[in-house]
């Protein structure tokens, strides 16, 4: 891929002084340094509350996606919960315009599924919307099945895919299917910007991992991220790890 669709995000003007956003590490880093994108796949990782969802939601809205998720054609709204960050964000785009795109929020995927069913209940020209998603109502599939149906049928390439914790619905085998689909889409000139807690997903070849810390953002190989190290340490010997956390069961 010669160019990325999204190259850089900055906050050229300060946010209102009283805004809670000023306390988020990710926002402080954006104001000071900006965030540059260098690879077709960028992962944001970091502790709960570090601002990953806030950041990628603001990016998605700035690119014309519905705040609740979906393609650019979705316009449903259930609750106006997005932050004001999108109004302040400046996004430097590449030369090419993506031909496909999707914004996935784990929390509101249910509403995306409802919106597709709703669109198909209204009379309209052409094939039903659900035919783009594998043909079976996403409500008649499990959370993981419907998410994989979405990625396998609806993500067509030359796209900008902004995904917030896509692993939320997936088994380890499901994550492997997601990785296979991401490889297909990366070969077809796509860019992914993903927030994740999944040490499996973040091994994706050639991805850049940006770890959000209290004092800023650092780019790391997957095996140096806190998520990966903590998971490996735990799984290498769950008994020892649990004893450290809970104490010796013999003594209680
Ligand atoms: N309206 C609000 N007022 C004050 N604080 C808020 C508001 N909305 C969100 N926050 C805070 O912003 C912080 C960042 O939230 P965000 O959802 O972006 O974190 P995250 O990195 O995606 O976390 P997780 O890994 O749990 O998904 C949280 O500490 C949250 O409590
Ligand atoms: Mg989040």
What residue segments make up the domains of the chain, in order of their start?
A: 6-220
CA of 165 to the centre of ligand 2 (A): 7
Q: Is the pTM here over 0.75, yes or no? A: yes
Cβ neighbours of 224 (radius 10 Å): 12
The superfamily in CATH containing domain 6-220 is P-loop containing nucleotide triphosphate hydrolases (3.40.50.300)
Ligand 1 atom with minimal separation from the 165 CA: 27
Mean per-residue pLDDT over the chain, rounded: 90
Radius of gyration of the chain (CA): 19
pLDDT at position 36, please? 96
Residue-wise pLDDT tens digits, 22-69: 999 899 999 888 999 999 999 999 999 999 999 999 999 999 998 877
Residues of the chain with pLDDT under 50: none
Go through 81-97 and write b for each residue having 16 or more CB atoms within 10 A of its CB, e for each that does not.
ebbebbebbeeebbeee
Nearest CA to ligand 1 atom 28: 49
Give the list of residues 6+ apart from residue 92 with CB closer than 8 angstroms, or none.
6, 7, 8, 9, 10
Query: HEC states along 128-150?
Result: CHHHHHCCCCHHHCCHHHHHHHH
pLDDT at position 165, please? 94
Query: What lines the ligand 1 site, CB under 6 Å?
Result: 20, 24, 46, 48-54
Ligand 1 atom with minimal separation from the 47 CA: 25
Residue-wise pLDDT tens digits, 153-166: 889 999 999 999 99
């Amino acid at each position: 891929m010669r160019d990325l669709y999204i190259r850089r995000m900055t906050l050229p003007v300060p946010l209102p002084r009283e805004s809670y956003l000023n306390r988020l590490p990710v926002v402080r880093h954006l104001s000071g340094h900006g965030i540059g994108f260098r690879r077709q796949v960028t992962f944001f990782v970091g502790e709960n509350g570090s601002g990953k969802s806030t950041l990628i939601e603001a990016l998605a809205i700035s690119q014309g996606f519905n705040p609740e998720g979906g393609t650019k054609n979705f316009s449903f709204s259930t609750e106006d919960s997005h932050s004001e960050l999108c109004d302040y964000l400046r996004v430097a785009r590449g030369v090419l315009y993506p031909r496909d795109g999707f914004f996935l929020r784990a929390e509101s995927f249910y509403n995306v599924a409802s919106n597709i069913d709703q669109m198909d209940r209204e009379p309209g020209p052409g094939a039903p919307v659900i035919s783009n998603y594998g043909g079976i109502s996403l409500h008649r599939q499990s959370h993981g099945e419907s998410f994989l149906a979405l990625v396998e049928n609806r993500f067509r390439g030359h796209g900008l895919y902004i995904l917030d914790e896509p692993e939320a619905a997936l088994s380890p085998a499901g994550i492997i299917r997601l990785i296979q689909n991401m490889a297909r889409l990366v070969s077809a000139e796509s860019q992914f910007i993903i927030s994740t807690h999944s040490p499996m997903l973040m091994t994706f070849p050639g991805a850049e991992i940006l770890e959000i810390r209290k004092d800023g953002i650092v780019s790391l190989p997957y095996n140096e991220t806190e998520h990966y190290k903590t998971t490996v340490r735990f799984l290498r010997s769950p008994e020892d790890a649990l004893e450290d956390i809970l104490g010796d069961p013999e003594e209680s």
